[in-house]
Amino acid sequence: MTEKLTMDGLAALARRSREEREGFRARITVHMGTCGLSAGAQAVFDAFAYEAKNHADIHVSASGCAGMCSREPMVTVEVKGFPRVIYCDITPDKVRKVFASHGMENRPVVEYALAQGLESVH
């Protein structure tokens, strides 16, 4: 049974979660809202998970819709210390190249990339 959180516990968990996030050399996020899934995001996710299974320093996770539903499946790759890059229209065939080039060697695949950087948040 997990301990119920207290105020201090919440703050500590927030810190821990951020540290854990920082702990990976690269993070790959597959956008898997209904729009992404209907465009084939599950196969893309599986392909990335397969590529990453022997690389403990690369984290593969899912998230919701990234906004541009007509260009799904979309994938975000972020190598620590570099801007994140959003890829669009990704298929399982393109996964190996994105993984090997960007995930492993930090060379973003320009022809699949939509944009880099962060969104404007108020």
Residues 48-87 that bind another protein (CB under 8 A): 61-71, 74, 76, 82-83, 85-86
Q: Which is nearer to another protein, 11 or 91 (CB)?
A: 11
Q: What's the closest the beta carbon of residue 48 comes to another protein, in angstroms?
A: 14
d(CA 88, CA 112): 6
Segment interacting with another protein, rule: CB under 8 A, options 1-9, 47-55, 89-97: 1-9
Burial, 65: exposed, middle or buried (Cβ in 10 Å; 0-12, 13-18, 19+)? middle
Q: Is 31 in the site for another protein (CB under 8 A)?
A: yes
Phi/psi of residue 14, nearest 5 degrees: -60, -45
Q: Which is nearer to another protein, 54 or 70 (CB)?
A: 70
Strand 26-31, strand 113-116: pairing: unpaired
Q: With the C-alpha atoms ordered 115, 117, 118, 119, is the resulting torsion angle positive or negative?
A: negative
The residue ranges that bind another protein (CB under 8 A) are: 2-7, 10, 13-14, 16-18, 20-21, 29, 31, 33-35, 37, 61-71, 74, 76, 82-83, 85-86, 105-110, 113-122
